[in-house]
Amino acid sequence: MGRLSGEKLYEIFARQKREDRFEHVGTVQAPGPELARVYAWQTYDEAKWFEMIVASRDAFHAVNRDESPFTLHPTEIS
């Protein structure tokens, strides 16, 4: 599924209890953070989340690689 013009990918993280670590639960496409929050809450409602956060995929920066995170080269795909 391709992205619509003006939409960004958002990474979704959640935890069920305050003491839990955040887990990556998926992604959503949205034109902005407010709709990303709504889409995330509606899409990933299979658990009773204590807390859920969204982050624009372009907010992530690689530490030990030249490429951006979430990129795969054909040789890395198995």
Q: For residues 48 and 51, what is the distance between their CA atoms, to the nearest angstrom?
A: 9
The pLDDT of residue 76: 47
Task: Give the mean pLDDT of 36-44.
Answer: 97
Reading across the β-sheet that carries 51-56, which strands appear in turn?
A: 23-30, 8-15, 51-56
CA 70 – CA 12 distance, rounded (Å): 14
Domain boundaries, the chain: 1-60
Distance of CA 33 to the CA centre of its chain: 11
Q: What is the CATH number of domain 1-60?
A: 3.10.20.520
Q: What is the pLDDT of residues 10-39, one digit of tens each?
A: 999 999 999 999 999 999 999 999 999 999
1 confidence band (pLDDT: 50, 70, 90): very low
pLDDT at 26: 95
